[in-house]
Amino acid sequence: MARVPGRVLIRDPAVAAAEFHRALEGIPRETAARVSANASRAERIRRCAVEMNALFFRVRRHLSSLIAGIISFGLLRRLAAGRWAQEVRADVDALLRGLPGNVTTEMDLAVGDLTDFLRPHPELATFIQSRPWADIQAALPQKEGGRELAAALERFLSRYGNRCAGEIDISRPRWRDDPTLLLRVMTGGLSAESGAHRRNHQAQADAAEAAAARLVAAARRGFWGPLRRRLVRRLVRVARSGMGLREHPKFVVVQTLGIIRAEVLGAAEELSRRGQLAAAGDVWHIELDEIAAALDDQKLDLRDRVAARLAAFHADQGRKPPLVISSDGEVPSLADGRQDLPAGALPGTPASAGVVEGLARVVTDPTREVLRAGEILVAPFTDPGWTPLFIHAAGVVTEVGGMMTHGAVVAREYGIPAVVSVTSAVERIRTGQRIRVDGTRGFVQILSES
């Protein structure tokens, strides 16, 4: 925090952002080296626990540039409450479009590039559309364009292969294991024009720069104009640079989880081969120190404790957690008393401004369902593993989320209207219905049944 004032007022934000990226990119490499330096599998597992516990300490010392961006954006909003900004107040939110350096947006654009690569090969697209990944992988070398697609996909996975839907759950298969979601996104976007995703993102960046210019021009008005103009110009630069770093710490976490996952899976195979686990997949129901202890002691049988935990896990799977719960266990009523809604509208939280109408596509499992270009994504939640769908979405509706969740951040970058925290959205909205998403006022309307 001591570094934050200097980042807000003095330091070149572009230089600070470059240092931030270099530092965070190095953390997973250093983690992998420390883990692999241990000779025995048990010691590597113990080292994984140490690395996970130390991860926040390693990341947080570099967070000042990100925090400076968030603070600068908040200060701009406060300044824009003045009369000088009466005509340009909405331009503050427009600054969040097309942010530089957002690792999740860069990933989504790379998925769009894969779609462009697939577009000239319609037979290959038809082949990969509905088959399991194992069959696709085996047949790609024999298909026209298949070898080139496999090489392009491998380049993508070398960077983003540790991501997936629900990626904070280490038991979930990574894209490196099964890139089915990527293939679904690619085939779902074939109806869009080649390069449209890149052009749209550049248009959003241009819109943000134009908004910044209007804010700076408006700030010069009045007695304090010259001083305020310099301050606004500075805050705009720091806000756009710093807010673009928002996704990178999570990316580091996911890369670290990928390193740990590989070690755990290796240990699971050994324990199941010895008979200490009934199946390798049971490893996700025991802790790292238990894995290490079992590797050291071949007589330690983990099957009974796994069975008890599996029973509790299956019992909990049917639960639906409340959106809000207080520290003393109370679940408050979230009945909405808003008077500004049209009749029958579903209320939510505005996350990305704009209004759009289109056909809804309810997606609960992005690896099984295809979002077509121009449809409105309706989902229980989104995380970075879902956001490749956004390059084709006309709008986004989720049951869970807030202004700083991943889906909201990426929707604003793309200029896609989004409403989050819409109670039971996936149950009340059906695929094929025509809906209106008002991301400015925060509600969804069902316009027609089909």
> Which residues belong to the active site?
406
Q: Are strands 418-420 and 349-352 parallel, antiparallel or unpaired?
A: antiparallel
CB 62 within 8 A of CB 20: yes
Q: Give the pair of three-digit tokens for residue 3.
A: 């570094």
d(CA 221, CA 237): 20
Side chain identity, residue 198: R
The one-character DSSP state at 130 is S
Phi–psi pair at 423, nearest 5 degrees? -60, 130
> How far is the C-alpha of 40 from the C-alpha of 28, rounded, in Å?
21
> Measured between alpha carbons, how far is 228 from 49 in angstroms, rounded to an integer?
49
Contact 24, 62 (CB under 8 A): yes
Q: Rounded to an integer, what distance in angstroms lies between the CA atom of residue 277 and that of residue 345? A: 51
Dihedral sign computed on CA atoms, order 293, 296, 299, 303 = positive
